[in-house]
Amino acid sequence: MKKLAMFFSLFLFFSCQNFGQLKLLADLPKTLEEVSGTEVAPTSNLIWMINDGGNKSELYGLNEKGKIIKEVYIKAKNHDWEDLTSDENGTIYIGDFGNNRNRRKNLSIIIVNKNELDEKNAEVAEIEFEYPNQYKFPPKKENLYFDTEGFFYFKKALYIVTKSRVKGNYGKTTLYKIPATKGKYTAKIVDEFENCKNLECWITSADISSDGKKVALLSQKNVLIFTDFKGDKFLSGKVTTIDLKHRSQKESVTFKDANTLLITDERAHGSGGNLYELKIK
């Protein structure tokens, strides 16, 4: 009876909440209270997730009901893991580039080959990179443009999407490019975009559809869908803005298919900690 009562209490709780256009798929386990990255890899039937800095160096594979099916220990420190992406071979990349104070000089991306996803302890390779236009660590307040929470893979390259911490210009993001292979690189500036100005506008995750025709950027306020771009000037294409009409600490986005996004939010202030689905055109 207690289990039944708890089930109906949870049902009523979620039924009474308004998630806007978002469809609630699952309440994520407490293990993922600080979820920061989500990825659907082409060779896996799991949804892969990570937590951000201060948490274990673990990669979690879940089903759509939010149940953890697989845990993989990553043999690399979680300085501040912020996003996931994958390539056509099923290799997963972990973005260890969270940089709240714009002080870090050890920005990296961890490479987890597909065969390592079957191991309990994964051997990894690493990409190190720096921004070509950051000269001070940290820079002055008006130049705090070097935090990052989003990236995606496209044609042998990784595209890094920055998060602004400049007051009054939180929605500005710069797109950088580095090779998707082990090594040390200076990133190249590819493109820029400005979302709205307030705190809800900073970019917390990014992804590209498997056909390479759509790019999604996530903020607390909205999802930006870019199409009809030329080459890799992704942020200069046609943009469709989807106001989410649901406020929470949204941290990650991934394409489930060309017309469906999966979105997660961090558990904070008594809300969030969920996996959602969003249909797009």
Please tell me the distance from the alpha carbon of residue 155 to that of residue 238, in angstroms, as a whole number. Answer: 21
Which pair of structure tokens corresponds to residue 64? 């759509």
Q: Which residue has the tokens 């797109």?
A: 175
Ordered alpha helix ranges (H), 151-221: none
Q: State residue 211's pLDDT score.
A: 97
pTM: 0.93
Residue-by-residue pLDDT tens, the chain, 281 positions:
545 444 444 443 444 466 778 999 999 999 999 999 999 999 999 999 999 999 999 999 999 999 999 999 999 999 999 999 999 999 999 999 999 999 999 999 999 999 999 999 999 999 999 999 999 999 999 999 999 999 999 999 999 999 999 999 999 999 999 999 999 999 999 999 999 999 999 999 999 999 999 999 999 999 999 999 999 999 999 999 999 988 899 999 999 999 999 999 999 877 899 999 999 98
Q: State residue 186's pLDDT score.
A: 98
Please tell me the distance from the alpha carbon of residue 224 to that of residue 172, in angstroms, as a whole number. Answer: 13
Q: State residue 18's pLDDT score.
A: 62
Q: State residue 15's pLDDT score.
A: 43
Q: In this structure, which long-range contacts are made by residues 211-218, counting pairs with CB atoms below 8 Å and at least 24 apart in sequence?
A: 211/258, 212/154, 212/155, 213/258, 214/255, 214/258, 214/280, 215/152, 216/253, 216/255, 216/261, 216/280, 217/150, 217/161, 217/173, 217/193, 217/253, 218/150, 218/250, 218/251, 218/252, 218/253, 218/263
Q: State residue 12's pLDDT score.
A: 39
Please tell me the distance from the alpha carbon of residue 26 to that of residue 272, in angstroms, as a whole number. Answer: 11
Q: State residue 270's pLDDT score.
A: 78
Domains in the chain, ordered, with CATH? 18-279 (2.120.10)
